[in-house]
Structure 1
Amino acid sequence: MFAGGIVSNITVYQEDFNSGINGPGQFTSTIASTGGSSPANSAWTVRANGYNAGPPTWFATFNSNDNSSFVLSNSDAQGSGTPSVPSITRTRLTSPPIDLTAYTTASASFYHHLNRFLTSDITRVQVTTDGGTNWTDLISFNADQGTPTFLCKFSWI
């Protein structure tokens, strides 16, 4: 006798960032930010729960949903730029490859906060099925999402 069915509630990959980023098997941070006095300061960085960016940027304390470490890309940290060379933040946080070939469906969820300052500010969640050559948007955020102390949960099924 053979029985089959849908396998569900299996966690294929989970990350709490307590081990950091940019190491083997971890998320990687890449930046293409320009302008400002220190574009590299906009890179995704692991922060401890209760992190305060402080002046001259934010006056807020950031807390994760479960009091663990989290990653933050702070566009204000790169500096404001000038009218002739504006400050443009472009950062990417990429997971290591996740093999889903044994599955017919997948879902993802995470907590996040977006403080939208300019109408051009946007955050995208993307997937690739060809090793990063082509990317497909799952969703784009172009409005404030949550607060530094109350993160929004995003779920994609």
Structure 2
Amino acid sequence: MKYLVPITLIAFGCIGLLIVSSDLTSFTEPGSQGAGSETTFSGSGPVDGLVLMKFGAPWCPPCRMIDEELKELAHSNFPARIEKINVDQRPDLAARYQVNSIPRLILMHHGRVIGDEVGFMSAEQLTAWVGENTTDEMLAAEPAPPPGPKANPFVE
């Protein structure tokens, strides 16, 4: 009987932690603005156009370094929409795309994977990599970005 109160408190603490952590995983649809200036990827439905998905985590130094390179690309006319996916918050997407190492970059065109790389790449390397994995027809067929809030997570 003397252990009932501490066990009950621990059980309620664990349940509360589960409830709080499940509420922190709400995300927005691709192209809409999430918390701050980061666009998040829902993973539901088809992926239209050319999309660069960057899987990473805030605690990963190479992931933060590649974010700086992606910011640089966002201020140029980079042909792909950039989606940042935090693997700690979206393990379902990490599992779907078989992400075992980060940073992982997956380039998709209309939902089909056309490029896949792991590790840091500079802005120049990223541009060259996208160019190697796309055709002129893919780049020319890209629709103009919709008016309103910028879909690129790295444009302030």
TM-score normalised to structure 1 length: 0.24
TM-score normalised to structure 2 length: 0.24
Structure with a larger share of its residues in helix: 2
Structure with a larger share of its residues in strand: 1
- Give the number of the structure whose alpha-carbon radius of gyration is greater: 2
